[in-house]
Amino acid sequence: MKIGVLGTGMVGETIGSKLIEKGHEVKMGSRSATNEKAAQWVSKSGSKASQGTFKDAASFGDILFNCTKGEISVEVLRSVGEETLKGKILVDLANALDFSKGKPPGLIFGTNDSLGETIQKSFPDLKVIKTLNTMNCTIMVNASGVPGEHDVFVCGNDSEAKKEVSDLLANDFGWKNIIDLGDITGARATEMLLPIWLRLYGTFGNTDFNFHITR
């Protein structure tokens, strides 16, 4: 599969590297086609890795991963353009955090909206699937990194796109417990987990944990 990764930070590199390991072709996108961090990732990732602008990566990928900072995600997608994004699947794993009042941060979209919903409303022809935003990136790509039973949530308006992303989560990232939260409004709930995730991070002193729903 051809996959576009938007963002060159730790999350983008972790996602891109795992997808390369699983045999996919990955183009990493950033504001500049010659981004130094992307170039370093390409040089160590082999022939299936490439780099370009955000628009280049979006044009390349059958599935796109939004690994940008949540506060700039909509701006980044606008730079790509609606026509390029039309009909694509976007796996949105970003969180829009507000650091204006210091740490721990709040949520830019509060409790009555979410980044996932905002992206979907801004780009109605894009198939937005919200997932993986409730854990550290090393766990995103390796479910066995946390022992025992734990869960990943998915939500989105397009059922076929949601199934395709769920299959990728299972087959490439090792997820067994995938909980479907329905349409994209479910992104509001998963993004609101971030405040407690951040508190747990502070309590434990590490990110080697995840959520599990027992019933």
pLDDT in tens, 20-65: 999 999 999 999 999 999 999 999 999 999 999 999 999 999 999 9
84-100: average pLDDT: 94
pLDDT in tens, 61-80: 999 999 999 999 999 999 99
- Cα 43 to Cα 37, 40, 92, 116, 138: the distances in Å are 10, 5, 26, 32, 21
| pLDDT for res 106 | 84
Which uninterrupted H or E stretch holds 52? strand 49-53
In degrees rounded to 5, what are phi and psi of residue 67? -110, 20
pLDDT in tens, 109-152: 888 899 999 999 999 999 999 999 999 999 999 999 999 999 99
Instruction: Report the C-alpha gap between 65 and 88 in whole angstroms.
Output: 11
Residue with tokens 């183009």: 27
| pLDDT for res 100 | 81
Two structure tokens written together for 40: 């370093």
| pLDDT for res 108 | 85
| pLDDT for res 214 | 96
> Mean pLDDT, the chain, as a whole number?
96
| pLDDT for res 103 | 81
Which uninterrupted H or E stretch holds 91? strand 89-92
168-192: average pLDDT: 98
Percent of the chain past pLDDT 90, that is, above it, reads 93
- Cα 120 to Cα 155, 156, 164, 185: the distances in Å are 12, 9, 18, 10
pLDDT in tens, 96-117: 988 887 887 888 888 889 999 9
Q: Is the peptide bond before 105 cis (omega within 30 degrees of 0)?
A: no
| pLDDT for res 98 | 83
Instruction: Report the C-alpha gap between 123 and 81 in whole angstroms.
Output: 9
- Are the beta carbons of 51 and 23 closer than 8 angstroms? no
Instruction: Report the C-alpha gap between 56 and 84 in whole angstroms.
Output: 9
pTM of the model: 0.96
| Cross-strand bridge partners of residue 127 | 89
Instruction: Report the C-alpha gap between 51 and 5 in whole angstroms.
Output: 9
| pLDDT for res 116 | 98
